[in-house]
Amino acid sequence: MPGHRRPGRSATGRRATAGTTALLTLLALVLAGCSTSRGSDTVGDGPVRLTFWSALRGSQEVVDEFNRTHDSIKVEFQQVPSGEQGGWTKLSNAARAGNAPDVATIEYPQLPGFTIDGVPRDITKLMPDSVREKILPQALDLTTFDGRTYAVPVDIEPMVFLYRKDIFTKNHIPVPKTWAEFESSARELKQAQPRSRIASLFTTGGTLYMAGYAWQAGAQWYDTAGDTWQINMDDAPTRKVAGYWQRLMDDDLVRVEPGSSQQWRAHLRSGETAGYLAGAWAAGSMMASTPDGKGKWAIAPMPQWDPAKPKVSTQGGSTFLVTKDSRHPKEAMEFISWMVTSPGALKAKLASGVSSAFPSVPSLVPVARKEMDTSYYSGQDIFGLFQKEAERIAPTWKWGPRMTSTTSSGDDGLAKAGAGSGDILKALRDAQSRTMPDLKSLGLSVTTR
């Protein structure tokens, strides 16, 4: 499945490369039924016209810069809703009708499902080695299944800890380097400022955050063996993580609330929530949504279970794919390559507003660093921190084929746990059991480990 095989490497001896046979077998069946009549890359007179759908901010500016600097390819951009707000459905419906755009954006967790549905084109041969070699291997692993690449990573978002430096300093609370210290700091903060909590446990969107915590701890929710998908959202690392956050919640050390809600933002602004565990992208989001926090916030590495063996997971991040419907896949790949690797593309994107998304091409970090005013974080070299953490991303994770269903079920359970009904581990177990019928309906062989 979502293969973790690095292109050109043997899969031998690497658990993470264990087969994507199940996905590819089904994909072959799906593609066999797909029309290939739109697969021609024949170029007529005049520039090739491409269509591009994305919900990413700054996409229009990037397209404008591409069109300004290129004569043989012209791109028409269409802003679409973000995935959970309708973008995924729009792309699925268009692909089903044979009218998908040439290029589209999709997040990492949804890519396996879209691949099974036959939306992206296999770009293994289209993708230039010069591009492949520039991308952080951990990012490329998440878009490469059993040696076949289906999307180009745009950004990769190592999880970090954003915290209120002023509150931690005033109360002489150490910035936690381990999860044990995180719990101790949470208790100290509650004692020093009874209305403040160190972070939030999210109900809406919480399953993907819980996935990030479990990933860092060594969990493997999805795996494959031959033609069979193996699911286990109840493995030992997951139980450790679920038990840890359950204790934080039971002891009232974290705030339980919907992610990205006005309520949560208000708590960040007031200092009643003094920390935020999230992907690197959140640094820019914090600047935009909480401008009064300028000079108050700082960023630290994600706490570790074992500091001697630091591991990092991701939260957020997107990819670009060439759809099966594209009439001009070579030109679409050229457009994507430019967007992902060109300093001009990144500058255009950053010109549209503040963004701390960590580029999948590490050589672009100096561009991102130069373009971003980090006075909000008191001049901290946040991109230097992100780069160090990105290199620690554990290449062991696989997303499942129906993560939308999995996370929806998980979020329902987390909301109930937050309301005192059930617990976090039960929420994850229920998410697994409720996902199974969806996977079987795809014709997949599925088992639990």
Question: Is the pLDDT confidence value at 388 over 80?
Answer: yes
Mean pLDDT of 351-364: 95
What does the pLDDT read at residue 22?
A: 56
Q: Say what angle helices 59-69 and 343-351 make with each other, to 10 degrees.
A: 140
Q: What's the pLDDT tens digit per position in 88-112?
A: 999 999 999 999 999 999 999 999 9
Beta strands in 71-227 (DSSP E): 73-79, 103-107, 144-145, 148-149, 152-153, 159-164, 200-202, 222-225
Nearest by Cα to 396 from 309, 336, 320: 309
pLDDT band at 27 (very low <50, low <70, confident <90, very high): low
DSSP class of residue 197 equals: B
Mean pLDDT of 266-292: 97
Question: Is the pLDDT confidence value at 42 over 60?
Answer: no
pLDDT band at 30 (very low <50, low <70, confident <90, very high): very low
What does the pLDDT read at residue 26?
A: 52
C-alpha distances out from residue 253 to 141, 156, 185, 417, 422, Å: 36, 30, 10, 15, 18
Q: In degrees rounded to 5, what are phi and psi of residue 53? A: -110, 135
Can you read off the two tokens belonging to residue 240?
């450790």
Question: Is the pLDDT confidence value at 19 over 50?
Answer: no
pTM, 2 dp: 0.90
Whether 321 and 116 have beta carbons less than 8 Å apart is answered as no
pLDDT band at 4 (very low <50, low <70, confident <90, very high): very low
Q: What's the pLDDT tens digit per position in 304-337?
A: 999 999 999 999 999 999 999 999 999 999 999 9
The amino acid occupying position 414 is L
